[in-house]
Structure 1
Amino acid sequence: MPVLTRLVASPVVVDVRPGALEGLAAVLADERISRSGRLAVAVSGGSGARLRERLAPTLPGATWYQVGGSTLDDAVRLADEMKSGGHDAVVGLGGGRVIDCAKYAAARLGLPMVAAATNLSHDGICSPVSILDNDAGRGSYGVPAPIALLVDLAVIREAPIRFVRSGIGDALSNICAVADWELSHRVNGEKVDGLAAAMARQAGEAVLRHPGGCGDDGFLTVLSEGLVLSGIAMSMAGHTRPSSGACHEISRALDLLYPRRAASHGEQVGIGAAFAMHLRGDTEGARAMTDTLRRHGLPVTAEEIGFTDDEFVRAVEFAPETRPGRYTILEHLKLSPARIREAYADHVAALE
């Protein structure tokens, strides 16, 4: 009997440790990602500029490009600037904005892309998706996942702690996303990729149950690996289902309805995930998630990120319209504004 397997798209290198960036040149050479050393390195104007000064001597053949924003136009402009350089590979050195633009530019040029993350704000560091602002608001664009990923924990600790907290919220929301995916399977027969679901859920559970804090290398390693597994799970499934459910619909609704007041992505999806678990009747799970959010200094109610209860209720009501065709607990219950308000009040009361 033949043994049936499948190929899984994943990075050839994942290096998570203090000092990982010092090995960037060796990774590029050893893995034959860039034989000539002609690299296009995308950086931000802030921390990226300081890292450029530090790393430029080890990458003598690199051309450095500054990423000015996080729009589709910025990513297209970056690709246009890079296309005449005869590069072997693209390196995104920075946070989510830089990495998303670099992924899109690399895809447009047909080049392999290496992610060198300087913060852990969301699972985009290893995902097959670029999140870029466009004329309609914000879009998700399918791209090849990074061929290699480096996370220098020493650099991560230097970044503002809010970035780590945002990554925590994004990783925890996997638990909600997988539950929504399984709900759609039970109700609509939507196919669930069991391995992708397992990877995404365990990534969230590992962060949920780790006793360490935001400044602890052990915890930061687990968070980094969880975000990596989330990205691989999406590559494996071929869509964002393993890491995006009602939690992300609610966050997207907040972005669209209140664009100048939105909190960080991780804060919003963390609050959305806990509320979705309450709607699902998983009181114990909602409590565990909110306890973990609080322990790491994240908000657990809409008021704590600057929204009134009525504004949050409006966002939850609007949330299903942000992802037409996606089935989550919100589409399943089809709650009226009055019922959403009642459920949210019960959820907040249970947190006291």
Structure 2
Amino acid sequence: MPVLTRLIPSPVVVDIGCGAMDDLAGLLADQRISASGELAFAISNGSGQALRERLAPVLPGADWYEVSDGTIDSAVKLADDIKGKRRYDAVVGLGGGKIIDVAKYAAARVGLPMVAVATNLAHDGLCSPISILDNDNGRGSYGVPSPIAMVIDLDVVRAAPVRFVRSGIGDAISNISAIADWELSRKITGESVDGLAAAMARTAGEAVLRHPGGVGDDEFLTVLAEALVLSGIAMSISGDSRPSSGACHEISHAFDLLYPKRAASHGEQVGLGAAFAMHLRGAGEESGLFAEVLRKHGLPVLPEDIGFSADEFVRAVDYAPQTRPGRFTILEHLDLSTDQIRDAYADYAKTIRS
């Protein structure tokens, strides 16, 4: 009897823990990553420079490329610079989400594997097959291969501003809302749901949602880091962002487009969007738990917490479905009028405050 299975796209190495950066040179010397030590590092001009000083002595075969921002132009420039220099074994993105997204895109463009070395836990794109890059029309999502290796040093994460950890929490727990939207779409539209991707993303979100620890605990940071990695792998399995992106992300994208100079962090916005979406589903107890966990970790539960009025939030929810044409979520299902959204928000705010 043949064993039927499928290959899951995932990193060959995942190293999460305190002091993980100290083992980076040995990890990169893995025959599956870089036998020769010829590596192209993409770094920021801030914290990346300090890490370069720390790592350069043990990585003599590396070249270091400074990335100025998270735009498609920077990603193309990095690819051109790498291609014109010498033959490398891999591209290493060392930094936050913007640096890693630029490095993923550049590596794909030149046909090299990519290693993600994250310095914060702001969102679930660290290990995903997607690069989010700014372009002339705002912001675009670009399909890329997933990282071949993932390194997260909790000591480095803890040294970064705590707002990055909070953002990652919002992104991780929003998976639960995104999966509810995916399953709703299967019921209403017949959309296919990848059960493995859904299980992985939901488990990741639940692990963070129900963990008793806080942003300063190593155990909690480990669970959060693992959840963000698993979310990225879930997206690789499904071939798109569906396991981690539903109404919560539509609302966040609406904030970005309608209020580009005032938008909060991605995780703050999707966490708030997820709590509201759960309320729209009539999941009162679950919505209350979302709000409780968001408050516990210092994330917003109401738009006023991030400087937006109720009317501005209503406008964002009303606009949200336009940000992902063809994606079916609770927002498309209910198809609420502006007045109905306003009433739903008033009920949500009353529930959250009580």
TM-score (norm 2): 0.99
Supply the distance in 1 between the matched residues of 2:22 and 2:126 (Cα, whole angstroms). 18
Supply the distance in 1 between the matched residues of 2:235 and 2:204 (Cα, whole angstroms). 12
Match of 1:175 in 2: 176
CA deviations over 1:4-28 (Å, ceiling 9, x no partner) = 1000000001000111011111111
Match of 1:48 in 2: 48
- 3-state DSSP of counterpart to 1:30: coil
For structure 2, which runs of at least 5 residues remain unmatched after alignment? none
Match of 1:154 in 2: 155
Supply the distance in 1 between the matched residues of 2:31 and 2:214 (Cα, whole angstroms). 34
Supply the distance in 1 between the matched residues of 2:290 and 2:98 (Cα, whole angstroms). 27
What amino acid sits opposite 2:92 in the alignment? V
Match of 1:306 in 2: 307
Supply the distance in 2 between the matched residues of 1:78 and 1:313 (Cα, whole angstroms). 40
Which residues in structure 2 correspond to 1:79-158 (within 5 Å)? 79-84=79-84, 85-158=86-159
Supply the distance in 2 between the matched residues of 1:108 and 1:187 (Cα, whole angstroms). 38
What amino acid sits opposite 1:261 in the alignment? R
- 3-state DSSP of counterpart to 2:226: helix
- Provide closer, same or farther for how the CA distance between residues 38 and 273 of structure 1 changes in structure 2, counting only shifts above 3 A: same
1:32 to partner: Cα distance: 2.9
- Moved beyond 6 Å, runs of 4+: none
What amino acid sits opposite 1:201 in the alignment? R
- 3-state DSSP of counterpart to 2:120: coil
- 3-state DSSP of counterpart to 1:116: strand
Supply the distance in 2 between the matched residues of 1:35 and 1:290 (Cα, whole angstroms). 48
- 3-state DSSP of counterpart to 1:227: helix
CA deviations over 1:123-146 (Å, ceiling 9, x no partner) = 011000000011111100000000
1:39 to partner: Cα distance: 0.6
What amino acid sits opposite 2:47 in the alignment? S
CA deviations over 1:14-65 (Å, ceiling 9, x no partner) = 0001110111111111243111111100000111100000000111010000
Which residues in structure 2 correspond to 1:1-352 (within 5 Å)? 1-84=1-84, 85-352=86-353
- 3-state DSSP of counterpart to 1:7: coil
Supply the distance in 1 between the matched residues of 2:30 and 2:327 (Cα, whole angstroms). 42
**More off after superposition, 179-188 vs 78-87:** 78-87
Supply the distance in 1 between the matched residues of 2:349 and 2:3 (Cα, whole angstroms). 51
For structure 1, which runs of at least 5 residues remain unmatched after alignment? none
Supply the distance in 2 between the matched residues of 1:30 and 1:317 (Cα, whole angstroms). 50
Supply the distance in 2 between the matched residues of 1:26 and 1:189 (Cα, whole angstroms). 48
Supply the distance in 1 between the matched residues of 2:260 and 2:100 (Cα, whole angstroms). 22
1:2 to partner: Cα distance: 2.1
1:190 to partner: Cα distance: 0.3
Supply the distance in 1 between the matched residues of 2:49 and 2:125 (Cα, whole angstroms). 21
1:86 to partner: Cα distance: 1.3
CA deviations over 1:145-177 (Å, ceiling 9, x no partner) = 000000000000000000000000000100000
What amino acid sits opposite 1:54 in the alignment? R
- 3-state DSSP of counterpart to 2:325: coil
Supply the distance in 2 between the matched residues of 1:138 and 1:86 (Cα, whole angstroms). 31
What amino acid sits opposite 2:83 in the alignment? K
CA deviations over 1:294-352 (Å, ceiling 9, x no partner) = 00011111111111111110110110000000000000000000000000110011011
Supply the distance in 1 between the matched residues of 2:80 and 2:300 (Cα, whole angstroms). 40
Supply the distance in 1 between the matched residues of 2:231 and 2:344 (Cα, whole angstroms). 29
CA deviations over 1:258-296 (Å, ceiling 9, x no partner) = 000000000000000000000011011111111001000
C-alpha RMSD of matched pairs (Å): 0.6
What amino acid sits opposite 2:57 in the alignment? P
What amino acid sits opposite 1:226 in the alignment? A
CA deviations over 1:89-135 (Å, ceiling 9, x no partner) = 00000000100000000000100000000000000110000000111
Supply the distance in 1 between the matched residues of 2:131 and 2:30 (Cα, whole angstroms). 27
What amino acid sits opposite 2:18 in the alignment? P
Supply the distance in 2 between the matched residues of 1:3 and 1:81 (Cα, whole angstroms). 45
Supply the distance in 1 between the matched residues of 2:257 and 2:90 (Cα, whole angstroms). 35
- 3-state DSSP of counterpart to 1:53: helix
